[in-house]
């Protein structure tokens, strides 16, 4: 119990208390708190356990850099894991639990790993569980891993996506971002400024040493001014997490705090989170910097915190993170944090600085205030298990030996500062090149590759005055590029420009024997793990990262990476410049799957296409399935039927009476123009130009590799108008395929094509009584066998609606395909059903259709063919040879591979060991010299209710030369026997088609 | 996500387009008279430069038209957008 609430100060409202629970206990905070500031104010020391060793951990940071304070917030359908307690605004009724502790943070069984840590170094799991097989151990180890719990209930919240196209996007609302926005506001350009905090201001809101600083007032003025400017859009609670090609950036906006109920905030508009997709002409990155901790023994104890974080808690939230503090820092800025803490009443016992003569503006002021500074010194070790009790101090030196302890200082708070790292993540994501800057001992933006400018602390400028200048200058330049002339406005705020001395390159104090010093707090990577990686030659930073998991936790190494690279550099005896950085990838901040999915969930995930007669099909108790994006009837179930029974009933009805099939999704492409015939000759394997108007022909389509990829019947309606049908799933692709050849290759042809698939409702009337049914409802069409033979097309009316009727059959029975404008679909379906009532007309579904086409040996492209099937493999070698003109894929059909005699060929297979259907996908297995080899496989298989035995189609090696041969078919551990037969099982002469 | 300027519709997001591979690949004519080598070259062999590539794109979720694009495969900078039938422009690889 070390932290406490200060009597005054901070941007919190002490008149508006908020209750919340943490790990089941009730606490109170104030409006304006974060969960972290409220917990520290309540004296909570331990917020979680570390990932690997389960060591007790407290807060290290105050923002997105926080590695330890991960919580699961909300309950039930709003439960959200791995939210940083430092970034979530406190609200009434918030419930939070630690994510990596069992049974509790105070007593955690996994902490046994801490005792064992000597034996669990980096790579331990890989090395130890190699024999006999890592996969035996993996489930057990994985169960111990993982942070938080995925909610079981469906998410109760709604998420959405929105687009912004703007002139200038400013990322970050600190001093540099605000200066840029105020400057750009004068130009009238569309400017968006985004900040991940609830209000603009950034470091202005906390980075001051006493209350006389007017940075907060400046931030308030800016918020008002920007809010009043119409051309400026301010996005708060918005984290820009990705920077992609051509200045496209993505941002996640919290529209209510995670875990809060739907009415979270007034403007939540029913969505919990929104993804903004932003395309900007120019981007100004003002993302600030992150303080690095120093690396020393037991630097992960609760109570060891970043100096600026403690300052932030004090100045922005009115919270003291401890009562007696020791600062360990290698730079001037951290003294400002110490001064700030002292000004609010925290006892700053000592400043430990490895530099020999810190004498800049802030160190001087600290000394004037009576703060004792130990020069040329380091912290040797931290005492205290669940909270810091004391630190030991020794002399700084250049060697690796742990120094002798010269004094012990009692304290409950250790502030640590190793300098500031520019937040160059987005810059690096944009493709920009970083360079190592010796002055700040960190990487900073160097060469931009997109239309972007980095300003302020993310560009290495750590003084507020410099941030204002850089922000303003970047905005002036961006406006000029976009054709607007602006000048730097008068801000009415002149921050101090203190003289600072260079920071020390120092980042690590040697640890006493047996003491570990932490680098990556979230993934429990220690300095000795990095040394081990170096010894084992994982010296590349990308290897180091994967071997030790440095920077791979949900904080992505925000405070740890540079220290890790520095230790690697030191161990190898090279500069950090030569070690480099790992690749920066989106997202900068974790983003929930809910936000990424947005509205594309449930019915919106993949909108289903519905038939023109969808409602009528429902009334007929159709069993819908998804076929290529269309909801189509599989079969129609009558009382007491199983699906199988229904399918067999439908097949028998078509074979002996008459059936009606909803075929509207059948692809329909109109090809028109003087060269339509020539064009289709090139598209189809078959010849189109010789077809007479009023006739239909089967067409096969191949790609340039000669591989069959679609088929369908085409009809010639007039000399210059063809209607080509494609498979139902292939219509869109086929249309685009034809367009590509027309636009890119054969630009001289007079041809226009239109995809009219959804303009027409298509019904197949099939069965011996099909003609009798249509005679009752059609006019102007001669239906007699001679006047309207098989493979012909006619126009007329059906039930008073103009129609195109094709006499083609996919079932093998006498059949007519009736096409009417889609809007008349319901009317015509009803009329045909009524006319067919006296013949007991039966609606039949797709499964009956597929069964009947298999009985007839009609190919189903994509099911009965694969990515290597050529026309000759499915019996079209003759037409290809005879065709006079060139067509797509023809040349590939005579390649050496195409001429092999042992190619897989399309055949029928009939079971000879019973009547049951053969297994689809079962392989024809042949044994030669004791080894089994596949000689093809079954592509379609059904039990025929008409033939009363199984029928199958398949691709079999040299199949057509092996008619009558018996083969063995392997599937799932057992064998079946079958005979290779013709694929046509039913009505081999085609008499029924022509009847 | 790249911003591609369709010659017919203007600047749009990349996800409205489809890439159709390297442009200016002539189909050997007459195809039946070409050797296996020439046909194989046409079918399978494409440049894979680090730098400028010329490729064709279709504005699928817009006007549906094909056009040519010269693009830097390293920076994704688009140097030119031109008609599908126009000859390949001379572009400095730098």
* Angle between helix A643-656 and A846-855 (nearest 10): 60
Rounded-to-5 percentages of helix, strand, coil across chain A: 30, 30, 40
User: How confident is the model at residue A61, as a pLDDT?
Assistant: 97
Q: What is the mean pLDDT of chain B?
A: 93
Q: Per-residue confidence at A506, pLDDT binned at 50, 70, 90?
A: confident
Calpha distance A351→A236 (Å, rounded): 36
Of residues A271 and A649, the one with the higher pLDDT is A649
Pick from B3, B39, B84: which is nearest to A744 by CB?
B84
Calpha distance A317→A564 (Å, rounded): 32
Q: Is the pLDDT of residue A492 over 50?
A: yes
Distance of CA A517 to the CA centre of its chain: 36
Per the CB < 8 Å rule, is B76 touching A705?
Answer: no
Per the CB < 8 Å rule, is A246 touching B1?
Answer: yes
Reported as a single tens digit per residue, the pLDDT across A819-874 is 999 999 999 999 999 999 999 999 999 999 999 999 999 999 999 999 999 999 99
B86 touches chain A (CB under 8 A): no
Pick from B2, B20, B28: which is nearest to A245 by CB?
B2
Calpha distance A185→A168 (Å, rounded): 10
Spell out which residues of chain B touch residue A705, defining contact as CB-CB under 8 Å: 43
Per the CB < 8 Å rule, is A431 touching B75?
Answer: yes
Reported as a single tens digit per residue, the pLDDT across A229-246 is 999 999 999 999 999 999
- What values do phi and psi take at A458, rounded to 5? -70, -10
Instruction: Give the range among A264-273, A617-626, A757-766, B55-64 with minimum mean pLDDT.
Output: A264-273
Per the CB < 8 Å rule, is B2 touching A895?
Answer: no
* Angle between helix A825-836 and A770-777 (nearest 10): 120
Calpha distance A875→A859 (Å, rounded): 11
- What values do phi and psi take at A404, rounded to 5? -70, 140
Per the CB < 8 Å rule, is A736 touching B58?
Answer: yes
Dihedral of CA atoms A675, A677, A678, A683 in degrees, nearest 10, equals 120
Spell out which residues of chain A touch residue B34, defining contact as CB-CB under 8 Å: 891
User: How confident is the model at residue B92, as a pLDDT?
Assistant: 57
Spell out which residues of chain B touch residue A736, defining contact as CB-CB under 8 Å: 58, 60
- What values do phi and psi take at A329, rounded to 5? -150, 150
Calpha distance A8→A957 (Å, rounded): 87
Probe site for chain A from B13, B34, B59, B65 (most A CB atoms < 10 A): B13
Residues present in chain A in total: 995
User: How confident is the model at residue A266, as a pLDDT?
Assistant: 39
Chain B closest CA to A959's CA: distance in Å? 27
Per the CB < 8 Å rule, is B76 touching A892?
Answer: no
B75 touches chain A (CB under 8 A): yes
Probe site for chain A from B16, B25, B36, B44 (most A CB atoms < 10 A): B36
Per the CB < 8 Å rule, is B14 touching A245?
Answer: yes
Q: Per-residue confidence at A498, pLDDT binned at 50, 70, 90?
A: confident
Which residue(s) pair with B78 in the sheet?
B71
CA angle A269, A274, A279 (to 5 degrees): 125
Q: Is the pLDDT of residue A433 over 70?
A: yes
Q: What is the mean pLDDT of chain A?
A: 93
A537: left (phi over 0), alpha (psi -120 to 50) or beta: left
Q: Is the pLDDT of residue A43 over 60?
A: yes
Calpha distance B1→A247 (Å, rounded): 8
Pick from B28, B43, B85: which is nearest to A747 by CB?
B85
**CA neighbor of A386 nearest in space, from A302, A329, A476, A482:** A302
Among chain A, residues having any CB pair with chain B shorter than 8 Å are: 244-248, 279, 431, 449, 704-705, 736, 739-740, 743-745, 747, 886, 890-892, 894-896
Which residue(s) pair with A500 in the sheet?
none
User: How confident is the model at residue A308, as a pLDDT?
Assistant: 98
Reported as a single tens digit per residue, the pLDDT across A204-225 is 999 998 767 789 999 999 999 9
Pick from A279, A747, A886: which is nearest to B30 by CB?
A886
Reported as a single tens digit per residue, the pLDDT across A541-586 is 999 999 999 998 888 899 999 999 999 999 999 999 999 999 999 9
The 10 Å Cβ neighbour count of residue A426 is: 25
**Residue written as tokens 């369709």?**
B6
- HEC string of A681-692? HHHECCCCCCCC
How many alpha carbons lie under 13 Å from residue A880 in its C-beta half-sphere?
24
**Residue written as tokens 């942070």?**
A147
The per-type count for chain B, helices as H runs and strands as E runs, is: 1, 6
Residue of A nearest to B73 (CA): A245
Pick from B13, B39, B85: which is nearest to A891 by CB?
B39
* Angle between helix A561-572 and A527-535 (nearest 10): 50
pLDDT, average across residues A925-950: 95
Chain B closest CA to A973's CA: distance in Å? 40
Pick from A246, A886, A890: which is nearest to B3 by CB?
A246
User: How confident is the model at residue A265, as a pLDDT?
Assistant: 46
User: How confident is the model at residue A51, as a pLDDT?
Assistant: 81
Strand A232-235, strand A191-194: pairing:
parallel
**CA neighbor of A708 nearest in space, from A908, A872, A882:** A872
Calpha distance A16→A471 (Å, rounded): 36
Q: Are A34 and A66 in contact (CB under 8 A)?
A: no
How many Cβ pairs closer than 8 A exist between chain A and B?
55
Instruction: Give the range among A137-146, A754-763, A776-785, A924-933 with minimum mean pLDDT.
Output: A137-146
Spell out which residues of chain A touch residue B76, defining contact as CB-CB under 8 Å: 245-246
Burial of A602 (0-12, 13-18, 19+ CB in 10 A): exposed
Buried b (16+ CB within 10 A) or exposed e, B53-85: bbbbbbbbeeeebbbbbbbbeeebebeebbebe
Question: Model-level pTM?
Answer: 0.91
Dihedral of CA atoms A215, A216, A219, A223 in degrees, nearest 10, equals -160
B15 touches chain A (CB under 8 A): no
Spell out which residues of chain A touch residue B20, defining contact as CB-CB under 8 Å: 740, 744
Q: Is the pLDDT of residue A493 over 60?
A: yes
Residue of B nearest to A881 (CA): B32
Percentage of chain A beyond pLDDT 70 is 95
Calpha distance A436→A453 (Å, rounded): 18
Reported as a single tens digit per residue, the pLDDT across A11-36 is 999 999 999 999 999 999 999 999 99
Spell out which residues of chain A touch residue B84, defining contact as CB-CB under 8 Å: 743-744, 747
Which residue(s) pair with A291 in the sheet?
A420
Instruction: Give the range among A213-217, A753-757, B33-37 with minimum mean pLDDT.
Output: A213-217
DSSP-based three-state secondary structure for A438: coil
Contacts (Cβ under 8 Å, ≥6 apart) of B76: A245, A246, B2
Per the CB < 8 Å rule, is B76 touching A246?
Answer: yes
Which residue(s) pair with A7 in the sheet?
none
Q: Is the pLDDT of residue A292 over 80?
A: yes
Could you give the C-alpha distances from B41 to A94, A537, A670, B68, in angstroms and in order? 65, 44, 34, 21
User: How confident is the model at residue A147, as a pLDDT?
Assistant: 79
Spell out which residues of chain B touch residue A244, defining contact as CB-CB under 8 Å: 1
Question: What are the strands, taking DSSP E only, across A403-535?
Answer: 405-410, 413-417, 420-422, 433-437, 442-447, 452-454, 518-520, 525-526
Residue of A nearest to B20 (CA): A740
Per the CB < 8 Å rule, is A745 touching B27?
Answer: yes
Probe site for chain A from B31, B56, B69, B75 (most A CB atoms < 10 A): B31
DSSP A71-127: EEES-GGG-EEEEETTTSBP-TTEEEEESS-SB-SSSBGGGHHHHTGGG--TTHHHH
Probe site for chain B from A429, A744, A890, A893 (most B CB atoms < 10 A): A744
User: How confident is the model at residue B94, as a pLDDT?
Assistant: 43
pLDDT, average across residues A936-957: 97
Pick from B1, B28, B31: which is nearest to A248 by CB?
B1
DSSP-based three-state secondary structure for A62: coil
User: How confident is the model at residue A268, as a pLDDT?
Assistant: 47
Strand A158-171, strand A271-285: pairing:
parallel
Per the CB < 8 Å rule, is A245 touching B1?
Answer: yes
Spell out which residues of chain B touch residue A753, defining contact as CB-CB under 8 Å: none
Q: Per-residue confidence at A129, pLDDT binned at 50, 70, 90?
A: low
CA angle A529, A532, A534 (to 5 degrees): 115
Calpha distance B53→A357 (Å, rounded): 58
End-to-end CA distance of chain B: 23
Q: Is the pLDDT of residue A652 over 80?
A: yes
Calpha distance A25→A423 (Å, rounded): 36
């Amino acid at each position: 119990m070390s932290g406490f609430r200060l009597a005054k100060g901070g941007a919190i409202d002490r008149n508006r208390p908020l209750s919340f629970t943490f790990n089941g206990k009730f606490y109170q905070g104030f409006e304006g708190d974060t969960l972290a500031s409220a917990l520290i104010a309540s004296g909570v020391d331990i917020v979680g356990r570390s990932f690997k060793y389960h060591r007790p951990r407290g807060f290290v940071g105050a923002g997105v850099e926080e590695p330890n304070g991960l919580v699961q917030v909300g309950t039930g359908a709003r439960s959200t894991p791995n939210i940083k307690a430092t970034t979530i605004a406190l609200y009434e009724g918030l419930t939070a639990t630690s994510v990596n502790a069992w049974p509790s943070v105070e007593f955690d069984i996994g902490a046994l790993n801490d005792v064992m840590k000597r034996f669990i170094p980096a790579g331990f799991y890989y090395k130890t569980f190699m024999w006999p097989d890592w996969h035996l151990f993996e489930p057990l180890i994985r169960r111990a891993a993982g942070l938080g719990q995925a909610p079981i209930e469906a998410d109760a919240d709604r998420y959405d996506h929105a687009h912004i196209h703007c002139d200038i996007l400013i990322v970050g609302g600190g001093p540099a971002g605000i200066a840029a926005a105020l400057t750009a506001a004068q130009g009238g350009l569309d400017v968006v400024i985004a900040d991940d905090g609830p209000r603009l201001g950034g470091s202005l809101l906390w980075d001051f040493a006493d209350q006389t600083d007017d940075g907060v007032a400046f931030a308030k003025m800016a918020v008002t001014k920007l809010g009043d400017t119409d051309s400026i859009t301010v996005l708060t609670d918005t984290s820009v997490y990705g920077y992609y090609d051509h200045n496209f950036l993505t941002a996640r906006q919290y529209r209510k705090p995670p875990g809060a109920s739907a009415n979270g905030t007034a403007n939540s508009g029913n969505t919990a989170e929104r993804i903004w997709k932003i395309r900007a002409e120019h981007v100004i990155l003002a993302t600030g910097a992150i303080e690095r901790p120093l690396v020393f023994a037991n630097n992960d104890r609760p109570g060891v915190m970043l100096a600026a974080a403690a300052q932030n808690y004090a100045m922005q939230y009115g919270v003291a993170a401890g009562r007696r503090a020791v600062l360990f820092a290698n730079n001037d800025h951290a003294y400002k944090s110490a001064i700030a803490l002292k000004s609010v009443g925290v006892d700053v016992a000592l400043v430990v600085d490895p530099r020999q003569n810190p004498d800049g503006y802030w160190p001087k002021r600290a000394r004037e205030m009576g703060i004792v500074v130990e020069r040329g010194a380091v912290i040797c070790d931290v005492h205290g298990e669940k909270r810091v009790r004391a630190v030991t101090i020794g002399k700084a030196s250049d060697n690796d030996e742990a120094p002798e302890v010269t004094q012990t200082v009692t304290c409950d708070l250790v502030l640590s500062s190793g300098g500031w790292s520019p937040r160059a993540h987005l810059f690096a994501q944009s493709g920009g090149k970083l360079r190592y800057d010796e002055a700040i001992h960190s990487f900073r933006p160097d060469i931009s590759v997109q239309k972007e400018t980095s300003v302020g602390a993310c560009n290495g400028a750590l003084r507020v005055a410099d941030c204002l200048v850089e922000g303003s200058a970047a905005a002036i330049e961006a406006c000029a590029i976009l054709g607007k002339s602006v000048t730097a406005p008068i801000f009415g705020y002149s921050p101090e420009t203190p003289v600072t001395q260079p920071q020390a390159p120092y980042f690590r104090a040697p640890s006493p024997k047996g003491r570990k010093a932490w680098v990556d707090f979230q993934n429990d990577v220690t300095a000795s793990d990095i040394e081990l990686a170096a010894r084992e030659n994982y010296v590349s930073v990308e290897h180091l990262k994967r071997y030790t998991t440095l920077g791979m936790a949900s904080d992505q190494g925000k405070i740890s990476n540079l220290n890790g690279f520095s230790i690697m550099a030191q161990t190898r005896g090279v500069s950090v410049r030569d070690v480099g950085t790992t690749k920066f990838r989106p997202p900068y901040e974790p983003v929930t799957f809910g936000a990424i999915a947005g509205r594309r969930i449930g019915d919106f995930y993949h909108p289903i296409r519905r038939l023109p007669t969808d409602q009528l099909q429902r009334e007929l108790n159709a069993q819908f399935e998804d076929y290529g994006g269309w909801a189509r009837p599989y079969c129609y179930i009558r009382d007491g039927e199983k699906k199988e029974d229904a399918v067999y009933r439908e097949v028998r009805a078509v074979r002996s009476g008459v059936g009606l099939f909803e075929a509207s999704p059948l692809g329909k492409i109109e090809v028109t123009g003087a060269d339509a015939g020539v064009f289709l000759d090139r598209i189809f394997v078959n010849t189109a130009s010789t077809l007479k108007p009023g006739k239909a022909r089967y067409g096969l389509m191949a790609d340039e590799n000669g591989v069959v990829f679609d088929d369908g019947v085409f009809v010639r309606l007039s000399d210059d108008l063809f209607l080509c049908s494609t498979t139902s799933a292939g219509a869109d692709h086929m249309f685009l395929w034809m367009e590509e050849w027309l636009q890119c290759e054969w630009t001289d042809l007079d041809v226009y094509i239109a995809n009219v698939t959804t303009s027409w409702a298509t019904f197949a009337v099939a069965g011996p009584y099909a003609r009798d049914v249509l005679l009752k409802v059609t006019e102007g069409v001669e239906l007699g066998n001679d006047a309207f033979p098989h493979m012909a097309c006619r126009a007329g009316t059906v039930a008073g609606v103009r129609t195109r009727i094709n006499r083609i059959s996919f079932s093998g029975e006498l059949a007519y395909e009736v096409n009417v404008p889609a809007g008349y679909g319901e009317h015509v379906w009803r009329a045909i059903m009524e006319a067919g009532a006296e013949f007991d007309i039966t609606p039949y579904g797709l499964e009956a259709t597929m069964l009947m086409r298999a009985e007839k040996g009609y190919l189903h492209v994509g099911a009965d063919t694969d990515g290597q099937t050529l026309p000759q493999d499915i019996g079209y070698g003759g037409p290809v040879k005879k065709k006079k003109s060139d067509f797509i894929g023809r040349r590939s059909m005579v390649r050496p591979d195409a001429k092999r005699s042992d190619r897989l060929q399309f055949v029928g297979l009939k079971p000879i060991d019973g009547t049951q259907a053969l297994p689809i996908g079962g392989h024809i297995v042949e044994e030669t010299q004791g080894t089994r080899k596949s000689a093809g496989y079954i592509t379609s298989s059904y039990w025929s209710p008409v033939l009363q035995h199984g029928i199958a189609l398949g691709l079999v090696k040299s199949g057509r030369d092996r008619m009558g041969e018996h083969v063995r078919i392997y599937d799932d551990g057992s064998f079946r026997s079958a005979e290779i037969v013709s694929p046509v099982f039913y009505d081999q002469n085609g008499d029924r088609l022509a009847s | 996500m790249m911003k591609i300027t369709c010659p017919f519709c203007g600047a749009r997001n990349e996800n409205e387009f489809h890439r159709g591979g390297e442009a200016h690949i002539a189909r050997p004519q007459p195809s039946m008279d070409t050797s296996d080598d020439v046909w194989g070259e046409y079918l399978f062999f494409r440049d894979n430069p680090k730098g400028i590539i010329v490729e064709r794109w279709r504005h699928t979720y817009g006007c549906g038209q094909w056009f040519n694009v010269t693009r830097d495969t390293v920076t994704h900078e688009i140097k030119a957008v031109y008609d599908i039938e126009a000859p390949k422009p001379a572009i400095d690889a730098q």
